[in-house]
Amino acid sequence: MNNSSLLYSYWEQLYPDVSTVKLDDFIASLKQTEVEVHESDWYKDAIVYALYVDLYNEDFNGLTEKLDYIQKLGINCLWLLPILKSPMRDAGFDISKYDRIRPDLLGLTDDCTKEEQEIVFGSFLKEAHQRGIRVIFDVAINHSSDQHPWFLDSQKTEETEFSNFYIWRDKPDEYLDARLLFKGIEDSNWEKLGDRYYFHRFFSFQPDLNYRNPDVLLAMSHNLLYWQSVGVDGFRADAIPYLWKEDGTSCENLDLTHVIVKFFRAILDYVNPGSLLLAEACQKPYEVVKYLGNNDECHAAYHFPLMPMMFKAIAQGNSQPIKHTLSRSVTPAIGNKNQWFTFLRVHDELSLELVYVSEEDRAFIHGSYCHKPEWDFRVGEGISARLSELMEKDVNKIALSYSIMLTLLGTPVVYYGDEFGKLNDSDFYKEQIQLTGKDDTRFLVRGRIDWEQLELDLQQPDNFHTEVFNTISGLLNTRKEHKVFGRGALDFVDVKTQSNKVPQQILAYLRTYENEKVLVINNLSSEIQIIRNPLEESNLALLTMNGFTMDNENMVLQSRGFAWFLVV
C-alpha cells in the first residue's frame, strides 16, 4: 500500500463518519518526492546533544558560534529543546504558535516575518549540516499553550473555526479514569474557565488538543511538513501516549493514538522519507515498542526504564538491575530499522514514575540520590538534579555512568553541560517560579552556561569541571569512531574471579556488528575488583579506560573503574 492509500486508510479508522474531502485537498496540496528516496537510518550512528538555545548561548547566532565546540565534543546530532513560540511557562513546551520560532532566539523583533525567520534559522541549519551535525527539535503535539490563537478563539461563545480544537465540557465529568500526571502540582485534569471546563493532562495552562476533530490532525500535519521543508532532520514527538481520549479508559496508549502517529509518519514519508520521528512515551518497554509499529510509526523511542536502573545498579554495586531490564522479559526486540535512545539526564527530573519502576525501586533510588529535600519532584516520583549533583561530584562515578550509557544499546543523549559537570542552578529555579507561578523543581536542572567562567575553569587542570570534561569528551569521541555501539548486538558476559566466582559488581558485555567486536567491562562497586580475562583466547586492544590495569592473567578495576577493548 502506498503512502497515499495509507493516509486514506488511517483517516477512515479515525473518522469513519467524516467525508474525505478535506483529506483529498490536503493530499493534493502536498509536493510528493519525484524520485525514489532510500530512507536513511542515520540516527543509529548519532550521538545526540540536548540543549535550550537561549540558555546555551543566548540565540541561534550564539549557538552557531559554539558549533565547533559541539563538533569537537564528538556530537553529530543536536536536539533543540523547545524553540517554538511560547509564553515560556513550561520551558517552551507550552507552544503558542507551531510554525514560528521565538523571535528572541532568532535575534529578531516580535514583528519579524516568516521569511526573516527562515533566513536566520536556515543559516544555522546550513552551518550545522556542513559540520555533519543533524538537527531535531521538540513538538508538543498533545497540547498547546492557553495563549495559542486556536485556544483563545475556542473560548468564544459563538461557533468559530476553532471551537472544537480543544476538549470543552459544561461539567468535569468525563475522562475521570485518566491519571493525574502532575501529582502535587495540579489537582485535576479539568480546569474551569468562565462557565465551562477544558481538559488537560499536564499543566492547567496547557489544554489538550482534540484529535477527534480532523482539522486538528491536518493542522498539526501542516506544521510538521513546514519544518521538514525548512530542513529540520526530525522531531521529538512529545507526550504521544495521550493523543486520543475515550471515556472509561485511562486515556493512554489507545489504539487510535497509534493511528494518529501512523498518519504523521506517512505524511512525512510521503513528502521526504528520512525525517526522524522520536517517541517520547513514558511507558513500559512493551508499550513503548508499539509506537514503533511495523516501521510505520516512530523510528525510535526513549528507553525510559533503563535510565533509573543504571542509577540503581551503581547505587547497589550490582549488575542485575540493568541485565534484567534489558532481558527479553522486559525489553522486547525491535525491528532492524528501529532504535532505542538512552540517556542519564535530560531536561526533566530523574523520573521514577510507577508506570515503569516498582514502588520498591522508586523508594530505593529516591533514597539513594535525592540528597536534598528541595530536589523532590511529584511527591517522590522524581528527583530534580543534574548528573554531577546526583553523583555528589564524584568524577569516577560520573565517568562510570557515561561508560555504561555510551556502550549499552541504542543512541545516547547527552544533556548540555553534563560534559563538564554543570551543577543545579538555584537562581534560575527561583527566577522561573516568579515567571510561571508554579513550583516546578525541574528548573533546577536547567539554567544558563557562563562561558567566560567555564573557559577559566577549563584552563585549570585540577578543576572538577576540567576533569569531567576531559573524561567525557574522550569517551564521546571514542564512541563516535565505532559503529558497533549504535548498531551492534549486545551479549552480556559473565566474568570470573581467580576463585571462579562471578562477581555481580561487574557489568561486562560484548557489542558485535559486522566484523567489529568490542568488550566493555564496568566495575559498579566502590571496591577494587580483580577478575580473569574473559576472552583469554583473543587479542584485546584497549580503546579507553578509567581506573584499570591488566597483566597476563588478571584485570584489576579500581572503584568505579571501566575499560573498553577492541577484540582483534
End-to-end CA distance of the chain: 45
* CA dihedral (17, 18, 20, 26) positive or negative: negative
Query: Rounded to the nearest 5 degrees, what angle is found at the Cα of 533, between the Cα atoms of 527 and 537?
Result: 175
Distance in angstroms (rounded) separating the CA atoms of residues 568 and 566? 6
Supply the Cα-derived Rg of the chain in whole angstroms.
Answer: 24
For residue 162, give the H/E element and its range. Answer: none
Burial class of residue 181, CB neighbours in 10 A (0-12, 13-18, 19+): buried
Catalytic residues: 238, 280
List of residues 6+ apart from 285 with CB closer than 8 A: 303, 305, 330, 331, 332, 356
For 318-378, what is the HEC assignment? CCHHHHHHCCCCCCCCCCCCCEEEEECCCCCCEECCCCCCCHHHHHHHHHHHCCCHHHEEC
**In 3D, which of 338, 363, 313 has the Cα closest to residue 487?**
338
Helices 214-230, 3-14: inter-axial angle, 10-degree rounding:
150
Task: Name the region of 184 (left: φ>0; alpha: ψ -120 to 50; beta: rest).
Answer: left
Distance in angstroms (rounded) separating the CA atoms of residues 63 and 465? 21
Distance in angstroms (rounded) separating the CA atoms of residues 249 and 242? 11
Distance in angstroms (rounded) separating the CA atoms of residues 376 and 378? 7
Task: Tell me the three cell numbers of residue 369.
Answer: 540520590
DSSP H helices, 108-175, are: 114-130, 149-154
In eight-state DSSP terms, residue 233 is: -
Q: What b/e sequence results for 111-123 when a residue is b if at least 16 CB atoms lie within 10 Å of its CB, and e otherwise?
A: ebeeeebbebbee
> Got the DSSP string for 495-515?
---TTS---TTEEEEEEEETT
Cα-flanking dihedrals φ and ψ of residue 334, to 5°? -120, 165
Q: Check: CB of residue 38 under 8 Å from CB of residue 72.
A: no
Task: Tell me the three cell numbers of residue 65.
Answer: 558560534
